[in-house]
Amino acid sequence: MSKLNNRYDFVLIFDVKDGNPNGDPDAGNLPRLDPETSQGLVTDVCLKRKIRNYVLLTKDNAPGFDIFVKEKAILNNLIDEAYSKQGIDLKQPPQDKEDGTKRKKEGKGQGKEVDKARNQMCRDYYDIRTFGAVMSTGANAGQVRGPVQMTFARSVDPVVSLEHSITRCAVATADEAEKQGGDNRTMGRKNTVPYGLYVGYGFVSPALAAQTGFSEEDLELLWEALENMFEHDHSAARGLMTTCKLIVFKHDSALGSAPAHRLFDLVKVAKADPDQNTPPRAFSDYVVTIDRNSLPQGIEIIERV
């Protein structure tokens, strides 16, 4: 695996049509909104979930590319497995006397044992060495601060949350059928955004990558996931979601050559026709420009999409 030597910042632009990109469980699963501006929101957690799912699908649990936070996982059991791979018996006193002459708490790591387990988890799980994780529960494998961080994505323009009534021509129980006299109809609700173009930002730190083992190969997989993650996440609830643009700023050093916000300000998203009276309903209603003339020295722009 090749060591990461450059800092990266990136802009992810994606859209949704007739779908709910990220429901809010505290609001009846309505699309997330900024109540002051009515701009749509998609959380970083939602985007990371899609990246995790893409890696699981394409790597098929290949060594080093398993996912720690996945559906129905029991996280403490996975931490226990890391200790087992290191040959550490958490029911016995520590093997290294520097870690103590006795086990402070049965089933829990201590001293250098925690470091060994944490490093094992980074080697085994792509999402840990990418996004980091809190693994201080159970046997305790400490905490990892990941080199890849992402912001919430926010829609360029205000979005409207629509509520649709839907029906199912069946019922769940015989009692329901009897009450309806055989009509057998079930009513439901579905919430969608007619159209929204969202912009999110991300950061890749080589200093933190060195701590987790995140490599150039892992970075390439991240770009691939951001480009294609919506293609393998289609559902009726999410409508049509597409990665429209992925703009990467590559610094010529590990510390970076310019602040991230200055680079992000170079990317402008505006309506293609400022005089258009109808609401945007497609990515073609917008134009994305990059002010390359103001690009700081030491920065390379890579347009992945």
**Could you tell me if residue 134 is inside a domain?**
yes
**Could you tell me if residue 59 is inside a domain?**
yes
Q: What is the pLDDT of residue 200?
A: 98
Prediction pTM value: 0.94
**Could you tell me if residue 175 is inside a domain?**
no
Over residues 280-291, the mean pLDDT reads 97
Q: Which residues make Cβ contacts (< 8 Å) with residue 213, sequence separation at least 6?
A: 1, 119, 122, 123, 129
Task: Mark 53-70 as b/e (b = at least 16 C-beta within 10 Å).
Answer: bbbbeeeeeeebbbbbbb
Residue 95 belongs to what domain range? 8-164+190-303
Maximum separation of any 2 CA atoms in the chain, in Å = 76
89 token code pair: 């018996």
Alpha-carbon span 166 to 200, nearest angstrom? 32
pLDDT category, 230, cuts 50, 70, 90? very high
Over residues 72-82, the mean pLDDT reads 96
**Could you tell me if residue 176 is inside a domain?**
no
**Could you tell me if residue 178 is inside a domain?**
no
Q: What percentage of the chain has pLDDT greater than the value 90?
A: 85
Between strands 286-290 and 30-31, the pairing is unpaired
Residue 118: φ, ψ to 5°: -65, -45
**Could you tell me if residue 89 is inside a domain?**
yes
Domain count for the chain? 1
Residue 204: φ, ψ to 5°: -125, 120
Q: What is the pLDDT of residue 18?
A: 97
